[in-house]
Amino acid sequence: MGLRQPPLCDSSGSDDASRHLETREESGRSTELSVYTVSDEEEPPPPPKHRAPFDAEDFRASGATVEALECSCVCTEELRSLVKSLQSDVLNLLELSATSAGSFTRHKLERELQTPRDGGAALKDVCGGDEDVVNAVFKNKKTHPPNLLMKLIKKRPEKNAMEARFERACDTWQQVKADLHRANSLTSADKQTRTRRVVRSEPNFIVKPLEYVSDINTSETFGEVRPGDVALETNRRKLAEFVARYDAGTDLNDLVSDISVRFQAHEEQVRAVLLHLCKFRVEEEGETILRQKPKLREVMAARGATVYQLNYLFKKLLEALNIPAEVVLGFWKKPNEFYHSDHMPVNHCWLLVMLEAPLRGGARAGGIFRVVDLVCFQKGVLCNVPSPNDFYFLTEPLHLVSTHIPSVVELQHVCPPVDLNVAFHLPRMYLGFQKHALRFVNFNNALTRLHDMEVFEADLEVPPNVEIFTLIKAATTTSNDYTLCQTYWSGTQRCARVKALLPAKEPIGVLQIFAGPRGTQTHFENVHELACVVPLYHTGAARECTFVPRYPTMQSQNYDLYIRHPQTSTVAKKHAYSFKIDAYPAAGPHLVPPLSANFKLVVESPSGKYTKLVADRPGGNEAGSHCATYCATILCQELGIYRGLVIGDTGNSWYVFTKWECAG
């Protein structure tokens, strides 16, 4: 096609540019071209923008469906059958020909016909067999809107199953190994490091408060009486029968008159009044108690009063019997509570009684001071004993210095007096501690401040006929899984080592130590009376960890067993552990012959296989040749429970004293 340029117009001519249209017919087609003539003074128009390499129609969704694809495959089959019938003659002729050209032509024709059939069948299998794949390729935007949130969130790469299993096994083994190291006994260096840290963080903290309470401190007396000279004995059954004849509404004047006539000893008169006042209900109060004097008529009508009102009434009744008494206000450290050192409110009150000693040569020799706590006497459940709790009846002031802190130090009636700050940091000692003659050995209060994976540890001296039971009590948990109490012999002294930690996500709690006669604990439910309470405080990271359980063995009481390793309840699979257990004669290594040859210890696997523990150290460094350490290295290849068994005293059967759980 040719293009003819028209002549340009003169500038003196018309201002409008002339337009020329020339039409030419070529090969039966007509083409129209429009040519614009622009004057020299005007700027040329801008060049057209380049066309995009893609057109919008290129991305239009295909309307083809699976049905159309199947129809095309069917048409191909029909076409093939028609072509095959039409060319049957040709194929027959080619068969007659022996030349390679004829054979090549025949095979080429078959391949051309076979290719579209195989391709259609393959597409049919892929597209028709998996509807999700089709939807993934041909998305319907109306019915499947894209989830922008899922596109923004980066998907985590899926780990291989073998790699994930290997990582879990490594984590389990590392955690078990860390817990085993965590449960080891503390060295002197560990205790010193933790003590320095606590002292720096809490300047007023008292590390060893028991060193400030020694044999020098005694309960106060007056006159020529010395502590222990006065024996207080009462006929409890006779007093209980006498008080039972009076109800709570009895006139108090008549009661006092009858008591003074029936009983002559002051301690019996005090107990009779106390038993009668226990019939009244003690009203619960808040953090601090009210100090309002009682109105007798209201108290008798309500059959209850506050703790201060009952103690005030107690004081007045004793004064009517010519027994000097005084109400003491102070701070009571309850067994199940945790208290901070900077806060000691007046939350309790008790009665201080002065008793005169018997006559000596016609004159009084002097007297003693004793404490009576009406609430603790009435509520024996606080110390896990049946009511009433006789420990709080005419108790020596020195025995209550760790739990009852008076507002005024002079009302402590201990010579020399114990500083109130020292008294607050003392471990709380209750009935079982004094009754069973327990004593702490080098108690370190800094170990109660736990940080990260630390464990509390303390040793006590325990008589041979006493056994210990421990519990951890927190806000949401009460269990003995977080404590471990085992007895051992140090020379000629029987000791108990207590280890404890708090449950995960529990910053505060208390360790409760119970004591009772040996052989009475038959299960994990405590049956002993409360002996001591140690508050625990935790900061930092925490991880759940439980100690190995110690089952009571009633049929094996001749030996004390101490599990040295492992002291946690969990072991890892496919790892070898050295099981070490110390055995001590229960009566003491200096009182009995050496360990019998019939004494045996074994570890039972989940499948029932017994592994004998061999005594590899028959001569102990601490307790002489009467003690031994039984050990064996066991490869834990089975998931389940590994049980520690000890032979009975009769030598006829095995008894479970502990167990370990093997985790994968």
d(CA 427, CA 584): 29
At 430, is the pLDDT very low, low, confident or very high (cuts 50, 70, 90)?
very high
Which residues, in sequence order, are bridge partners of residue 572? 663
Whether a cis peptide bond, with omega within 30° of 0, leads into 416 is: yes
466: closest CA among 428, 437, 441? 437
d(CA 123, CA 312): 100
pLDDT of residue 416: 92
Helix axes 66-86 and 100-129, enclosed angle (nearest 10):
160
What is the average per-residue pLDDT within 465-491? 92
Q: How far is CA 345 from the centre of its chain?
A: 30
pLDDT of residue 582: 92
pLDDT of residue 107: 59
Whole-number mean pLDDT of the chain? 79
User: What percent of the chain shows pLDDT beyond 70?
Assistant: 69
| Least reliable range by pLDDT among 89-93, 484-488, 559-563 | 89-93
Instruction: Name the CA radius of gyration of the chain, rounded.
Output: 48
What is the average per-residue pLDDT within 300-318? 93
Given a cut of 80, whether residue 277 has pLDDT beyond it is yes
Q: Cβ of 256: how many Cβ atoms within 10 Å?
A: 19
Domains of the chain: 188-210+435-539 (2.60.40), 216-419 (3.10.620), 559-662 (2.60.40.10)
What is the average per-residue pLDDT within 457-474? 94
Note the pLDDT tens digit of each residue in 526-544: 889 999 999 999 999 988 8
pLDDT of residue 414: 93
Token pair, residue 178, equals 């860390």
Higher-scoring residue by pLDDT: 646, 43: 646
- What is the b/e burial string over 563-600, where b = at least 16 CB atoms within 10 angstroms of the residue's CB? bbebbbbbbbbeeebebbbbbbbbebbeeeeebeeebb
